Amino acid sequence: MVDDTHGNDYAPIGEESGVNATFSADAVATAFEVEIDRVHRAMAGEFGQADTLVNSRQAQLLAEVLLGDQPQDQQIAALMTLGAYTPRSDHTDGLGEKDPAHESDRLVRNADEDDGERG
C-alpha cells in the first residue's frame, strides 16, 4: 500500500486482496505446481518449520525460492493462483492517485494554458 501523504493508505483496486491471508504447504504446492516435498524443504530452510502456515510475504519468498528459474510473470501468476497479495511491478502513480497539490503539472490539463506538448 502507498501512503497518500494525508495519513490514509491507498491501494489500487484489487491490490489489497490477500494481504492478511495465510496458506498451507499443500495450497502452495498446488498453486505453484511443485511437489509437496519441495515446499516442505523450502519452508524448513526459510522459516524453520516444514509444515506451517505462511502469509503473503512469506509466499512471495517461497515463489522466489521454488520458482526462481521461471520468468517473473509466471511467479506472479502462481502467487495470484494461490490468492496471495501480489504487488504490481508495473504500477506507477497516475492522475487522481495523489493529493491534487502533489499531482504533476504534466498530468493535469489546464484550460487556460497551452497544452502543446500533448499535441
pLDDT digits (tens, 9 = 90+) for 19-52: 678 999 999 999 999 999 999 999 999 999 988 8
Residue recorded with cell 526462481: 68
| Residue 2 CB-half CA count within 13 A | 15
Which is more confident, 18 or 107? 18
How far is 32 from 48, CA to CA, in rounded Å? 20
How far is 5 from 93, CA to CA, in rounded Å? 13
pLDDT tens-place string over residues 45-104: 999 998 889 998 899 999 999 999 999 889 999 998 998 877 665 545 554 555 556 555
Looking at residue 45, its pLDDT comes to 94
Reading phi first (left if > 0) and then psi (alpha if -120 to 50, else beta), residue 90 is in alpha
